[in-house]
Amino acid sequence: MDEEFLLLNPGPVRVSRAVLEAMAEPMVSHRSAAFGETYARAQAGLEYVFEHSALDGSRTSAGGTTLVLNGTATMAMEAAVSNLVDPGDEVVSLVNGKFGERFADIAGRYADCTPVAVDWGEPFDLDAVAAAITDETALVTMVHNETSTGLLNPVEAVGELAAAHDARFVVDGVTSLGGDEFLVDDWGVDVAVTDAQKALAAPPGLSAMYLADHALDAIDGDRGPYYHDLDWHVRKAADGQTPFTSAVPLFRAMAAAVDAIREEGMADRIARHRRYAAAVRAGVTAFGLDPFPTLGPGSAYSNTVTAVALPEPLVDDAGAFFDAVAERNVSIAGGQAHLGGRIFRVANMGELSAEDVLRGVRTVGDALGDAGVDAPVDDGVAAAEAELSD
Ligand code: PLP
């Protein structure tokens, strides 16, 4: 096994040398001017991501407030919900995968949550969503890119429904922001959250949040958990600080990661992620496999993580397949919860080249063969290559 380790999991992802080195700098106080500069750099880079995630390079938001937060995206999801609702408020949470379900669970702890659920990997029934959101709805939550199923959900359509009833709209852009389009204003998103260790290509431990001005107006510091009082976070962010001790090395790594995103430019970055995902899809399709999610109105296959149904002989018996992938020094993901033994997932986020993507595709094909499923490996790699050269 002499080839470099290739991490194709949907987070954490491979990060650049510059990001790794940023974490090794001597420690400073989180109240120092030096840290303030780091915070401001990370914040400005994230603001660029939140406000420029369009394939045509246009600006996607007239401006809002960007926060960099200690803690992963689950914390940010909880902070968003808990700062926007009071006990007894009605929340509608869209669920078609693990992370949509998590949002509903969180909402249920702080308010009265009505989940609008379909099977994991199925598209939402927008009529059912429309029926669930009423003038009584205080908040709607949804996941844009459902990492557990590889389905990209129709945020715009749901945003219109939320806006029609004057409900606030909180969206998980954890595996889309930094790698795919995310049109904050056009989609009517009030609060967007994302994670460091996904398409931003930073190490795990931080998350980021974007608050549109009218969402900010609703956050008064009177509700929500103490640590995640967003009013306090916003005030401290103005001084380049977090309310409590910042994870200094992680903020430095985030600053380096978003510097690289600005250098690449979001439009090119989105196009690259789309090429990579198309290549993975073409490769596995040529192997005779099927994408796991089912598409519906406004939904699409994910451009950052491809979820593939395990072929019949490997359902609930895929150990040899996953071992054969690992033997090639490559890491991919299986299914979560009840999708364990039914799917595998290949992500294309992080510091990856086209060659890495091709290696991932070839590895899947070779591993299928080792596990007794005949796959035309060269055909799959050629199909992937064709997408990469488009
Ligand atoms: N939302 C989505 C779509 C995710 O993919 C993940 C993690 O994979 C999360 C939320 C939660 O992230 P974390 O475990 O970093 O809190």
Give the pLDDT confidence of 71-96 residue by residue, as tens digits.
999 999 999 999 999 999 999 999 99
Please tell me the residue having the least CA distance from ligand 1 atom 15: 72
pLDDT tens digits for 304-328?
999 999 999 999 999 999 999 999 9
Task: Report which ligand 1 atom has the smallest distance to the Cα of 76.
Answer: 16
Name the residue of 77, 81, 95, 99 to mutate for ligand 1: max ligand atoms within 8 A of Cβ: 99
What is the residue-averaged pLDDT of the chain?
Answer: 97
| Cis amide prior to 12 (ω within 30 degrees) | yes
pLDDT at position 221, please?
83
Q: Is residue 362 within 8 Å of 377, Cβ to Cβ?
A: yes
pLDDT at position 359, please?
98
Q: Is residue 19 within 8 Å of 344, Cβ to Cβ?
A: no
- The answer to whether residue 214 scores a pLDDT higher than 60 is yes
The CA 73 to ligand 1 mean position distance, Å, reads: 6
Lay out the sheet containing 151-152: strands in order across. Answer: 145-146, 151-152, 300-301
pLDDT tens digits for 254-285?
999 999 999 999 999 999 999 999 999 999 99
Cα torsion 175, 343, 71, 25 to 10°: value is -80
Pocket residues for ligand 1 (CB within 6 Å)?
11, 72-74, 99, 143, 147, 172, 174-175, 195
State mean pLDDT over 29-37. 98
pLDDT at position 224, please?
78
State mean pLDDT over 345-371. 98
pLDDT at position 186, please?
96
The full DSSP string for 150-163 is: TEE--HHHHHHHHH
Contacts of 210 by beta carbon, 8 Å cutoff, 6+ apart: 46, 47, 50, 61, 64, 65, 66, 67, 184, 189, 191, 192, 193
Q: Is 116 helix (H, G, I), strand (E, B) or coil?
A: strand
- The residue among 105, 104, 107, 181 whose CA lies nearest residue 144 is 181
The CA 247 to ligand 1 mean position distance, Å, reads: 19
Work out the end-to-end distance of the chain between its first and last CA atoms, rounded to an integer number of angstroms: 31
Please tell me the residue having the least CA distance from ligand 1 atom 5: 147
> Please, which residues bridge with residue 309 across strands?
290, 343
Longest CA pairwise span in the chain (Å): 60
- The residue among 82, 105, 84 whose CA lies nearest residue 93 is 105
Q: What is the pTM of this model?
A: 0.97
pLDDT at position 189, please?
98
- The answer to whether residue 390 scores a pLDDT higher than 80 is no
- The answer to whether residue 1 scores a pLDDT higher than 70 is no
- The answer to whether residue 173 scores a pLDDT higher than 80 is yes
Q: Is residue 42 within 8 Å of 200, Cβ to Cβ?
A: no
In the chain, % helix, strand, coil (3-state, to 5) comes to 40, 15, 40
State percent of the chain over pLDDT 70. 99
Task: Report which ligand 1 atom has the smallest distance to the Cα of 74.
Answer: 16
